[in-house]
Amino acid sequence: MHRRTALSVSAALLAAAPLLSACSGQAHPGTAAVVGGERITTSALQAQVNEVRSAQNRSDQGAQLIEATPRLDRSKLNRMIQSAVLERAAKDAGVSVTTKEIEDVRKAQLQQAGTPAALETAALQQAQLAPDQMDADTRFKLLRDKLFEHYGNQDKALEKLGAAAKALHVQVNPRYGRWDARQILLGDETTPWITQQTRPEQAPAGT
């Protein structure tokens, strides 16, 4: 089940470093965001950033890739929050993704790319994904596409995503910016849930 529909995600924002208060009102040091009462820790966020930076440093184009992703931390945090919102909306809709579906997409991507190295290079360059992040990215996109198919139109799906985001009471550490509940992204981001139609040759970034 090799899917290519319209939707992509990323992130945005500035810097400053106050602590984030969870729903209980208690400050939580080391918290990047609170989603549905669950903390996304700064250490978990930094681990994702470090994986990508390590992969970029191993690349022949490492300097250019790093220069092109100056705020990778907020991009990753945006995706982590959106993933939680998507999972909630999919659960509410009774939509799920199987391991086999993820494996089938990855096999199709590999066939198109030719070699594992070429596939990993494309994912890193096009979507800032380290090799170990590719399965989660595939799951995200399959789940997203299934949710849109379930509701039959984008407006309805976005409405449900918005409801899920509201129910999760997303709070973001101001260090990473402001959460835009209406567009379901970190405030300065220019790539909302539906904007980019991925071209066929870009399978790793938009399957």
Question: What are the pLDDT digits (tens) for 98-110?
Answer: 999 999 999 999 9
pTM, 2 dp: 0.78
Strand order across the 31-35 sheet: 38-41, 31-35, 171-172
47-63 confidence digits (pLDDT tens):
999 999 999 999 999 99
